[in-house]
Amino acid sequence: METEVRVRRGGGRPRLGKPNPVDIHVGSRVRLRRTLLGMSQEKLGEAIGLTFQQVQKYERGANRIGASRLFDLSRVLDVPVSFFFDDMPAGEPARGEAKSAGEPEAGELDPMAKRETLELVRAYYRITDPAVRKRIFELTKAVASSSDTH
């Protein structure tokens, strides 16, 4: 049974179906920055006049972020608007183009999209002593390279 895709009157974005890859990418960048700042979805929503559920939808790419809202987000998250488009894969399929069957979803391969990575980075930068931080950095690199040889 196929899912019917309905379109709003006057054209626009389909209501059902998969989100646009660009919306997913922009949403993941919002989540990345919010998490790096240690900000909850609720706090971000309050800062821009939204509920945390609306922020969740933006971060998943389920809702498209308009230009004025993107500007507000850039201000609250203290990044330029271009930040949300950084690292966008050059081969993103255009609207309506299908991805290859075996192709991973956005964020599946990006370690920066994982909560574990974001929490690790935040914890690392909470270490106030630069010498200790550098030693932990060197330790992490040493452990990773020893894992590569096994």
Task: Enumerate the domain spans of the chain.
Answer: 1-89, 114-150
The rounded distance, in Å, linking the Cα atoms of 106 and 62 is 13
* Domain 1-89: CATH class, spelled out: mainly alpha
CA atoms within 13 A on the CB side of 127: 14
Number of H-type helices and E-type strands within the chain: 6, 0
- The answer to whether residue 106 scores a pLDDT higher than 60 is no
- Asked if pLDDT for residue 104 goes beyond 60, the answer is no
- What's the pLDDT band for 56 if we cut at 50, 70, 90? very high
Would you place residue 9 in the very low, low, confident or very high pLDDT band (cuts 50, 70, 90)? very low
% of the chain surpassing 90 pLDDT: 45
Q: Residue 91 — pLDDT band, cuts 50, 70, 90?
A: low
Q: What is the pLDDT of residue 26?
A: 94
